[in-house]
Amino acid sequence: MHPEKGWNRRHCTAALAGMALVGLSIGAGAQDRTTTSPTSTPASARSAAGATLLVLGDSLSAEYGLPRGSGWVTLLGQRLDQTHPGWQVVNASISGETTSGGRARLPALLGKHHPRLVIIELGGNDALRGLSLQQTREHLQAMVQASLGAGAKVLLLGMQMPPNYGADHAARFAALYREVAKQFKVGLVPFFLSAIADKPDITEWFQADRIHPTVKSQALMLDTAWPELKKLL
């Protein structure tokens, strides 16, 4: 689904509102649980390749409410083992994270992991906390610029706002990702949840809170990001 077609009102409102509530209750006290995906590639080969992929996201990438090791980032590591051996995936996502928090944490992550590719999945919590579009834009720009400056390629995973925030505001929010991607010539997935947002049976694709995607949804989320991601490997 493309941004201009909109997101199912019920799913969009529930999911983003829930991300904000989770962010308010968890984000402030959350610790950076940076994890590295298991890989079948020998350590010497990974070191020689120097191919680290860093994921900087919020609850959608931090396995919120899921069994450990079942999220889309883990599935990404497994797929890379099969299709592009030598890549190491570092998941530095935190539930409740905003673009401001991601921007603050990114320099240390770049310095520690020296990634060749950075995936930025942030912005949903900005929208629900009422941060200005300009603030979100500036934080996204800073993160992209810092990643490029460190020699990494970048993929932005876009989000959408609930339609009840106003069609014009929602359209401008969605456009942020397209504009930043175009400005820096980086990869873009316009709407990361497009594959599950309009599914008729919400209970199959979202957890009991009707907010966070289920285990079943994770493969579809990865498939949504994969075509653009593959271009950057």
Please say whether the beta carbons of 158 and 177 come within 8 A. yes
Residue environment code for 95-109, b if the CB has 16+ CB neighbours within 10 A, otherwise e: bbbbbbbbbebbeeb
Distance, first Cα to last Cα, the chain:
24
Position 146, amino acid:
A
Q: List, by residue number, the catalytic residues.
A: 59, 209, 212
Please say whether the beta carbons of 128 and 16 come within 8 A. yes
Please say whether the beta carbons of 207 and 54 come within 8 A. no
| Nearest residue to 140 via CA among 168, 116, 176 | 176
| Nearest residue to 5 via CA among 200, 202, 194, 188 | 194
Supply 130's token pair: 């009422």
